[in-house]
Structure 1
């Protein structure tokens, strides 16, 4: 995420995100000015949803660090079945709820709280598509990925989108995740993985 709050207005002068395609195509949604909030750019989002096009419709989606909501609202606009949004910051969460209400997105549910703690709760269902775009340089990525597996948040062949800082090398991800796509834009790396269900294993 952006480290400097003094440049935030220059980085996002419009204070909004735009939904690219689907039922809400062209809709602009306000974004709360929160230090470190780094909405996925339209350019990256377009690439990512080209990757995700075979998987989005009727999927159950989970956004671990919802922030501006740009990824989850794009998925719901493209007819994902449902979306669960986690967000820790009070201001960002309030804006997300307002945007959910504005879109009349009855299939979206916002939960405010710390993602790592929320992931230790037993989920009511599994998720087919997960967005992981954590704050940069806070060492959250590996723990999140491990907890998704440990606490059974994922469907058998779930797809997982990860957005991370370029300098974060040798990330330890679950062994049953296979990379499908990867790309870099400036200082940001973005990747798409697919999970394979773990078959009966012998004792280590």
Structure 2
């Protein structure tokens, strides 16, 4: 049984001064549609913030983020200093049931970053669960997973949606984790059975369901 439906969106971290250039590429070259532009997700934060531009391709979306440095370097700036420009910060996967999948992650000792966030944006409701980084390092410097669920009784069923609240939510969760030195990785491979073997090759799900 697969718990994931599809990639919901991919978030790229852009180096300083590059978000407009990458937006041009995704819109003009790839044919995406700009559906949200937030030039400061947290204007009242004296330390740091970020820009957030969202591009829709119909079946999935791309989010571009760029750090805004004030008293401190933003987490996006720290990320791009390590991984360079236009690096994938996180991938969001749509789940069938976010609460049930959260319990499954806990069963396998996976480390999540706070509790699920439920936000309302232009098209409806999105539930988001952010996870700790894949590497045991500063949460601002590692890639991580996001899991989302979109209601099936609204337009968000067919739209990729983003909001300033949602962007600010995951930014603040990472900001909170940094000073706490919570550097444990997302996955705990100690729960993997020693006798586990890779399964036999199967047909792709897209073929099996035809």
TM-score by length of 2: 0.22
Larger radius of gyration: 2
